Structure 1
Amino acid sequence: MKKVEIYTTPTCPYCHAAKALLGGKNVAFEEIVVLDPDLRAAMTQRANGQRTVPQIFVGDTHLGGYDDIAALDRQGKLDALLAN
């Protein structure tokens, strides 16, 4: 399974939902809390200008935020992305 990284903030409900979705699939992930402006800037650069959280990466592939991974899951495409 590829490394999964999720950029979050503590009070973001979408971050909690994304972590729950991944956790429900027994996916281990690294959580990067972006309270520090430098971490937020690094996330924004890596996520092609996206400043909102969560931002989710599988390996070097940017999946987007919670809505994006939830849509992939509904389409049956998320598991394959996580497995490769």
Structure 2
Amino acid sequence: MADETSIGATAGEQTAQVVVYTTEPCAYCVQAKRLLDARGIPYTEVNLARDPSGRAELVALTGRYTFPQVVVCGRSVGGFSELLAADRAGRLRDLLAA
């Protein structure tokens, strides 16, 4: 359910509601994408293993160095743990509605 793009296409102009920044191999990246797929939430994936030049932009956008990083409506949610916590608390749909 993911579209794939480069960081430059998403960092300056967030066109997708949900952007998942990933690398390979990354079990938490897979889990984050599975959670979004299970909820029927479309997302754009930016795989920094294929385009490592975007890592500095990601850190500037999120302030974090770990993967995955999930951005919802231009706001950094965090990694898989934060995404899961937001989902369990019912905040994920609220973030999407904002």
Q: TM-score, normalised by structure 2?
A: 0.77
Matches within 5 A, 1:1-80: 3-35=17-49, 36-48=51-63, 50-80=64-94
Q: CA deviation at 1:74?
A: 1.3
Q: Unaligned stretches of 5+ in structure 1? A: none
1:57 partner SS: strand
Offset at 1:57?
0.5
Unpaired runs of 5+ residues, structure 2, are 1-15
Q: TM-score, normalised by structure 1?
A: 0.89
Q: CA RMSD in A?
A: 1.3
> Deviation per CA, 1:65-84, whole angstroms, max 9, x where unpaired?
00001011111211111233
* Greater relative contact order, per chain length (Cα 8 Å cut-off, separation 6+): 1
Kindly report structure 1 stretches of 4+ aligned residues shifted beyond 4 Å.
none
Q: What count of residue pairs does the alignment treat as equivalent?
A: 82
Shift of 1:37: 3.0
Give the % identical residues.
37
